């Protein structure tokens, strides 16, 4: 299967307001989970009806609504109506090939970013979209997962900043998990890359080359997603909006530091991979050169010997040496001297 989302012929010319799910269905059941909390209380519920949604909009506490699964157009239209979200924003939410971006809305901020995770050794990509509104944070994921459990636990257990700092701080906390996961994922790949180094010097085999190429492909895949995420977070850290409190700006700058770290880490591993590739190629060619040199020297030593025995294999009537009593042994002597002379010459020239 292709690594890239392709444009489908029938989607060309579609209105940007058309609510069409453009991705692959990743989950069977769409799950809406809400957390409604202030410093004192935390209230969790699974939303199943439109009425519940409307009740949530009236809550004076901070509400975090998390939607897992994006392929239900009716639900999206309901959300759009209840939370006053513009159609083209929801169209972006439902399009998994949208680039990471941050956009100011009339009543909030829209953020979309890719989440990267290893599932059973496969690197998976998933879109996360956030809408930061006045007292509400809406997050959209393609499928349910445990990624944000640490945040839910922090909300449940600690009566501190996360309960009181507003929807922008909550969005920061989620994005921070996403970026930490980037670093974690790069670290896992990095472990595999670094483990190649020992094999490299001991026994450079053909499998090694395939591993290097596979890791290179995986790393490029990571880098391709980190680059636009970095641009997005840079834009977010610079954003002057009423929906981001002044005291939270520092956290978005921290996020920027983290994504820069991810980016630099991936740069470092790329350099290591390139070095490994060079070392592999040069050790392979060194090995071949060594073989060829030894074999060539070996062949060359036999060339004059074979010539000499050829000479005494001729049938000339008048061939003096063959009639000498010790001719045969003299021939062996000459051949021995020739061999020694050649070995001495090659040794001196450091040819083997």
Provide the minimum distance between the beta carbon of 290 and a copy of itself in the complex, in angstroms, as a whole number: 9
Chain positions 57 to 96 lying near a copy of itself, rule: CB under 8 A, are 88
Chain positions 241 to 260 lying near a copy of itself, rule: CB under 8 A, are 250-251, 254, 257, 260
Answer yes or no whether residue 118 interacts with a copy of itself by CB under 8 A.
Answer: no
Provide the minimum distance between the beta carbon of 262 and a copy of itself in the complex, in angstroms, as a whole number: 9
Q: Looking at beta carbons only, is 31 or 335 nearer to a copy of itself? A: 335
Residue with tokens 């071949």: 288
Provide the minimum distance between the beta carbon of 49 and a copy of itself in the complex, in angstroms, as a whole number: 30
Chain positions 131 to 190 lying near a copy of itself, rule: CB under 8 A, are 148-151, 154, 158, 160-162, 173, 176-177, 180-181, 183-184, 187, 190
Distance spanning both ends of the chain, measured CA to CA: 50
Radius of gyration of the chain (CA): 35
Dist CA 99 CA 92 (whole Å) = 9
Which ranges constitute the DSSP H helices of the chain? Answer: 50-58, 73-83, 87-93, 149-157, 161-164, 166-202, 206-238, 249-311, 320-323, 327-348
Site string for a copy of itself, 9-38 (x = CB under 8 A): x-xxxxxxx---------------------
Answer yes or no whether residue 298 interacts with a copy of itself by CB under 8 A.
Answer: yes
The token duo for 145 is 């997962």
The token duo for 23 is 């991705």
Provide the minimum distance between the beta carbon of 316 and a copy of itself in the complex, in angstroms, as a whole number: 4
Answer yes or no whether residue 309 interacts with a copy of itself by CB under 8 A.
Answer: yes
Contact criterion met (CB below 8 Å) for 36 and 62: yes
């Amino acid at each position: 299967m292709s690594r890239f989302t392709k444009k489908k012929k029938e989607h060309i010319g579609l209105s940007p307001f058309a609510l069409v799910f453009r991705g692959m269905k990743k989950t069977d059941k769409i799950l809406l989970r809400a957390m409604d909390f202030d410093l004192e209380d935390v209230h969790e519920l699974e939303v199943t009806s439109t009425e519940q949604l409307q009740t949530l909009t009236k809550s004076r506490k901070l509400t975090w609504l998390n939607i897992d699964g994006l392929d239900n157009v009716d639900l999206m239209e309901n959300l759009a109506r209840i939370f006053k979200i513009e159609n083209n924003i929801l169209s972006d939410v439902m399009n998994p090939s949208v680039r990471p971006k941050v956009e100011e809305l009339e009543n909030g901020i829209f953020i979309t970013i890719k989440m990267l995770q290893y599932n059973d050794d496969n690197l998976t990509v998933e879109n996360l979209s956030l809408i930061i509104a006045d007292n509400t944070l809406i997050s959209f994921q393609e499928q349910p997962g445990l990624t944000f459990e640490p945040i839910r636990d922090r909300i449940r257990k600690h009566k501190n900043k996360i309960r009181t700092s507003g929807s922008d701080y909550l969005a920061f906390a989620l994005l921070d998990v996403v970026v930490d996961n980037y670093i974690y994922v790069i670290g896992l790949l990095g472990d595999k890359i670094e483990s190649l180094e020992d094999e490299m010097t001991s026994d450079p085999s053909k499998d090694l080359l395939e591993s290097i190429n596979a890791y290179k492909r995986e790393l490029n895949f990571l880098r391709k997603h980190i680059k636009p995420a970095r641009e997005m977070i840079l834009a977010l850290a610079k954003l002057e909006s009423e929906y981001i409190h002044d005291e939270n700006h520092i956290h978005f700058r921290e996020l920027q530091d983290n994504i820069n770290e991810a980016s630099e880490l991936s740069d470092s591993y790329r350099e290591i991979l390139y070095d490994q590739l060079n070392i592999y190629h040069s050790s392979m060619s060194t090995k071949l050169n060594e073989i060829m040199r030894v074999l060539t020297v070996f062949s060359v030593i036999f060339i004059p010997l074979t010539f000499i025995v050829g000479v005494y294999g001729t049938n000339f009537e008048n061939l003096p040496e063959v009639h000498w009593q010790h001719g045969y042994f003299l021939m062996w002597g000459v051949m021995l001297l020739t061999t020694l002379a050649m070995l001495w010459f090659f040794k001196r020239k450091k040819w083997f």
